[in-house]
Structure formats: structure tokens, C-alpha cells
């Protein structure tokens, strides 16, 4: 066990047609987007989808925003919530907000919903994203999603030629982690002459840790375990490597009121960044933040076999331990009345003007009456990226890694204008 980060301890596309657009038509479209009005659809009416739809209505120069979900009740509730929050802004901006029931698992229904859209933001379960992204490309709409396992994102990136041919950009992993973390790291990297080490720390935490695990389930227990024990890709010695997931625990003091949190290697959140920065960055590692004690409790569950996915026989009946655990733990870890918070820190160390230097980016965002802080940050970040693609602020085409899709400084500025207090701190590390 060690304590780290001490130096910073205180705190749209062309309408569907028979032929792909020519290079000239794509240039003309890029120029027209400066004053055009745009049509967006958000797939998924959870808190992250609502946060994204809210941002698109306010800032996306939207003619129309559709909130879509397979659950009609969730669509009605979400649309009502958005109308109440947006008030006169819908009228003032000339934006139509609509709800629509869409089953993204049905190709015909999805194609109908995506037809005529300029931008698609997915807040769907990550397993549905590759097929839905293909649907967006066929509809000639830009695409951004909130992220998922590395293997899922790779399937989307493999659609690059089709997306480029149709004149649109497809950006997976545009949420929080992966997403904002990687964008902040890119901003630090571009400000240094050489980079020795990049450390990303992020946690979605309850405001008050409660037994039994000192944690609140936000994305679901099963998805959390997937992240804990999934593939953890990093850079070490300038080369892409796989780390052992759920390892390398350390403690970081964030100062009051957060105090000391624990951090450990988990999978997924580095996304494509190690490959993007290979050869320029020597080290690039992501760790999840939790309240102290959580790591040991999860490790005890794992050591006891309660997280195993291989069936065991109980009274002659095959039982998968992890399925039993998640079924029992999910309702006990929801704590629906408790608010969450996002704690994020990205540290980039290297040389600037010939001397050792480091830059840190910090964000502490707390949930409120409008919903989860975690899903707000993820949804708004994805919306900002999609707005930049659709409005032509950046001319990216094809399937693009999030850290290469948009200018990091512009994203940070946009998020700050929306009230996310991202703090940049420099330290001279010369001895």
C-alpha cells in the first residue's frame, strides 16, 4: 500500500440517400453547419440520457431533440422532467422536444427512429451500441456513446470505413471514464514537451458510505464487477501492456472534505488511449477511486468464490455464484434516497520548457435534485462532443477515438461554461 499524488493532495450528417457524399459536398455541409439547425435523438431515458438531452436542447442549436427508450413510461417521465427543467428555454431556442418509444434491439424500429437525425447520442446498455452505431452510420448521423468494455468499443471503431464513406463521425467512449478522463489527459499531454507518466483517478461515490460495502450501485453491480475485473490496458515503458485488474491499491489524500480515498487498477477506462499515445507517453494508468475498506471487502468476496462465473452444484442444482451475488446485492446497494458524487483527478508528469513539471485536472461534482452526478457528467460530456461534431466545430469523419475526436481545450471550456468546475493546477517538480 502506498499514498500517491501528493504534490496535488489539495484539492450532422446528410440525409439518407442512394450515394455517399462527395468530398466537395462534405466541405459544403461543414460550412453550412455554422448556421444550421440540427436534429438529435438520445437513446436511453435514464439520468445520463436526460442530462444529455437537456444539454442538447440548451446548447446544440437544435431544431428537434427526441428522447427515446424502450420503456414508454420512462419516456413520459423523462420528457415531463425535461420540460419542467428547461421551461421557456425550449421556446426561446425554437427547439421541439419529443418522446418516442424505441426498441433498439429491433433493427426496423431503430432504423425508423434514426432516419433524418443529424446526431445520435447513445445512453443504451453498452452491448447494444455496436448495432445501434451501425444504424446511425446507415442513417448518415454522427454518433457518440457513453462507453463500455474495450471489446465493445473496438467493434464500433471497426466501422470507420463505412462511417467515413457516409460522411459522419462515430465516437465511442464519450462519457466519464472512459471519456472525460482521457480528454483531460490529452490536454495535459499536449502542453508538455515530453511525458513521463499519466495517472487517471476517477470514482462515482456515495456522499455517505454505507455498509456493507461502503458503496452505492449506480451503473449496476454486474457492470461494476465487469469494470473491476475486466481487461486493464496501460502504457508501461512506453509500450502497451495489460495490467492485473483489481490490483496495485494505493491511498490518495484529496484534502477536506473528501479526505483519503483508495485507488486500484480496473479495466476499461483507458479505452484506446494507450494505443493513441504509445511512443509519446511512457506511462498511462487508470485507477478507480473508492472509500477506504471497499477494496478488501470485494477481494474477500472474490477469494471466497462468490464472484466466480463457473457454476457449482448446490443440492444437485448448478448455480453460478456471481449471479446469486448480484441478484442479492443489487437491491441492497441501490440506496435510492442517497446522492452520489464524482471525484476525478488526472495527473500528467513530464518536462515543460526543459524542466520537470506536472499538471493536474480535478473535478468534484455532487448529485442534486435533478439526478446523479456521475450520469450528469457522463451525459453532458457526450453531448458536448456530439454538438461539436454535428455543428461542424470539428471536421472529424470515420470512427475516431474520443481523445482524438475533439480539441481537449475546447471541451474543457464548454464543460466549464456548463458549470463543471474543472480545476487545472501546475507544479514545478525540479529538485
Same domain for 313 and 198, yes or no, is yes
d(CA 228, CA 173): 17
Q: Please provide the DSSP assignment of 152-210 as one string.
A: HHHHHHTTHHHHHHTT-EEE---BTTTBHHHHHHHHHHHTSSEEEEEEEEEEEEESS--
Domains contained in the chain, number: 2
> pLDDT per position in the chain (431 positions), as tens?
444 554 444 433 322 333 333 444 444 444 444 567 999 999 999 999 999 999 999 999 999 999 999 999 999 999 999 999 999 999 999 999 999 999 999 999 999 999 999 999 999 999 999 999 999 999 999 999 999 888 899 999 999 999 999 999 999 999 999 999 999 999 999 999 999 999 999 999 999 999 999 999 988 899 999 999 999 999 999 999 999 999 999 999 999 999 999 999 999 899 999 999 999 999 999 999 999 999 999 999 999 999 999 999 999 999 999 999 999 999 999 998 899 999 999 999 999 999 999 999 999 999 998 889 999 999 999 999 999 999 988 888 999 999 998 999 999 999 999 999 999 999 987 54
Considering the domain architecture, whether residues 106 and 214 belong to the same structural domain is answered as no
Is the pTM higher than 0.75? The answer reads yes
Q: Do residues 125 and 247 share a domain?
A: no
Together in a domain, 252 and 309: yes
For residue 138, the domain's CATH number is 3.40.50.720
If asked whether residues 367 and 378 sit together in one domain, one would say: no
The reply to whether 126 and 153 lie within a common domain is: yes
For residues 159 and 235, state if they share a domain. Answer: no
Alpha carbons 412 and 172: distance in angstroms, whole number: 18
Q: Give the dihedral sign, CA 86/87/91/93.
A: negative
Domain with residue 335: its CATH number is 3.30.360.10
The CB density around residue 296, as the number of other CB atoms within 10 Å, is: 11
In a domain, 273, yes or no: yes
Q: Looking at the structure, tell me whether residues 401 and 361 fall in a common domain.
A: no
Q: Is 319 among the domain residues?
A: yes
Residues 274 and 158 in one domain: no
First to last CA, the chain: 25
Residue 100 lies in a domain: yes
- Domain assignment present for 7: no
5 occurs within a structural domain: no
- The answer to whether position 22 is within a domain reads yes
Integer angstrom CA distances of residue 187 from 54, 148, 403, 426: 26, 22, 9, 13
Give residues with Cβ within 8 angstroms of 287, minimum separation 6: 199, 200, 201, 248, 250, 263, 264, 265, 266
Q: State whether residue 389 is helix, strand or coil.
A: helix
Residue 74 lies in a domain: yes
Joined together, the cell numbers standing for residue 240 give 502497451
Regarding whether 313 and 206 lie in a shared domain, the answer is yes
Same domain for 360 and 266, yes or no, is yes
Backbone angles phi, psi at 29, to 5 degrees: -65, -40
Residue 6 lies in a domain: no
Cell readout for 5 is: 499524488
Residues 169 and 242 in one domain: no
d(CA 395, CA 392): 6
> What residues have CB less than 8 Å from 108, skipping those under 6 apart?
none
Domain that holds residue 321: 180-371+421-428
Residue 100 in grid coordinates: 418516442
Q: What is the pLDDT of residue 179?
A: 96
Interatomic CA distance for residues 262 and 253, integer angstroms? 9
What's the pLDDT at 30? 40
The three three-digit cell numbers of residue 295, written as one number: 477494496
Amino acid at each position: 500500500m502506498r499514498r500517491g499524488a501528493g504534490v496535488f493532495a489539495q484539492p450532422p450528417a446528410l440525409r439518407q440517400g442512394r450515394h455517399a457524399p462527395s468530398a466537395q459536398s462534405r466541405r459544403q455541409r461543414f460550412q453550412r453547419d455554422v448556421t444550421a439547425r440540427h436534429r438529435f435523438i438520445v437513446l436511453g431515458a435514464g439520468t445520463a440520457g436526460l442530462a444529455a438531452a437537456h444539454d442538447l436542447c440548451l446548447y446544440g442549436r437544435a431544431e428537434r431533440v427526441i428522447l427515446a427508450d424502450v420503456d414508454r413510461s420512462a419516456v413520459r417521465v423523462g420528457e415531463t422532467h425535461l420540460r419542467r427543467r428547461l421551461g421557456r428555454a425550449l421556446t426561446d431556442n425554437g427547439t421541439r422536444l419529443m418522446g418516442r418509444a424505441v426498441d433498439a434491439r429491433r433493427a426496423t424500429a431503430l432504423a425508423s427512429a434514426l432516419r433524418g437525425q443529424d446526431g445520435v447520442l447513445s445512453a443504451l446498455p453498452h452491448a447494444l451500441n455496436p448495432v445501434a452505431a451501425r444504424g446511425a452510420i446507415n442513417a448518415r448521423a454522427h454518433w457518440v456513446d457513453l462507453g463500455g468494455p474495450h471489446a465493445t468499443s473496438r467493434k464500433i471503431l471497426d466501422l470507420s470505413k463505412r462511417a467515413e464513406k457516409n460522411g459522419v463521425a462515430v465516437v465511442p467512449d464519450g462519457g466519464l471514464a472512459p471519456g472525460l478522463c482521457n480528454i483531460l489527459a490529452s490536454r495535459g499531454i499536449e502542453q508538455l514537451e515530453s511525458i513521463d507518466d499519466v495517472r487517471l483517478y476517477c470514482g462515482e461515490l456515495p456522499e455517505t458510505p454505507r455498509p456493507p460495502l461502503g458503496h452505492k450501485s449506480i451503473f449496476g453491480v454486474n457492470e461494476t464487477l465487469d469494470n473491476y475485473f475486466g481487461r486493464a490496458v496501460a502504457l508501461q515503458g512506453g509500450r502497451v501492456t495489460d495490467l492485473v485488474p483489481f490490483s496495485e491499491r494505493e491511498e490518495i489524500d484529496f484534502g477536506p472534505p473528501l479526505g483519503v480515498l483508495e485507488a486500484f487498477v480496473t479495466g476499461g477506462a483507458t479505452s484506446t488511449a494507450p494505443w493513441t499515445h504509445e511512443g509519446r507517453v511512457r506511462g498511462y494508468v487508470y485507477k478507480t477511486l473508492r472509500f477506504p475498506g471497499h477494496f478488501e471487502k470485494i477481494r474477500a468476496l472474490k477469494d471466497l468464490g462468490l464472484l466466480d462465473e463457473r457454476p457449482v452444484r448446490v443440492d444437485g442444482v448448478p448455480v453460478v455464484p456471481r449471479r446469486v451475488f448480484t441478484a442479492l446485492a443489487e437491491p441492497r446497494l441501490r440506496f435510492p434516497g442517497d446522492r452520489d458524487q464524482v471525484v476525478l483527478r488526472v495527473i500528467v508528469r513530464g518536462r515543460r520548457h526543459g524542466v520537470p513539471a506536472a499538471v493536474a485536472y480535478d473535478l468534484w461534482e455532487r448529485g442534486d435534485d435533478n439526478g446523479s452526478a456521475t450520469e450528469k457528467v457522463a451525459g453532458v460530456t457526450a453531448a458536448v462532443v456530439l454538438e461539436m461534431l454535428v455543428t461542424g466545430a470539428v471536421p472529424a469523419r470515420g470512427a475516431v477515438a474520443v481523445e482524438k475526436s475533439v480539441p481537449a481545450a475546447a471541451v474543457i471550456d464548454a464543460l466549464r461554461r456548463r458549470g463543471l468546475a474543472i480545476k487545472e493546477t501546475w507544479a514545478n517538480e525540479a529538485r
